[in-house]
Amino acid sequence: MDHLHTYCMKKFAHLLEVRGLECDKGEALHARMGRYRNALNQERTLTPFTDYALKGAIQLFEKFNLVRNDNSLAHDNPILEPAEARYVFDTVSAALIFIRAVEAGRYEQP
């Protein structure tokens, strides 16, 4: 969980920085995701589903922050059950795969 969280933090920092937006080191993952969604929305009109999915990802990453801080080996806390950990990993991975596809579409536009 901790490594996936770190990857997400770096990924969203990169996605913001390529758009000329700075990232504060103390900024939460869901805040970066929200800023990323806003930047995309300024670049182009998002389809209703893409906007819905990105808003959902903001909530997902907010909860992921809590899991990382309160239920992972990042700190001395009780960890998630294996089924819960798999669900978190799969859900976060699915969001990242969707965002990768959205980013690919950015470069396909004329």
pLDDT tens, residue by residue, 88-110: 999 999 999 999 999 987 766 55
- pTM for this entry: 0.88
* Tally of CB atoms within 10 A around 108: 6
Domain count within the chain:
1
The domain in which residue 81 lies consists of 2-108
86 confidence band (pLDDT: 50, 70, 90): very high
Report the distance separating Cα 72 and Cα 78, nearest Å: 7
Helix (H, G, I), strand (E, B), or coil: what is residue 44?
coil
Residue that has been written with the tokens 């996936």 in this structure: 4
77 confidence band (pLDDT: 50, 70, 90): confident
75 confidence band (pLDDT: 50, 70, 90): confident
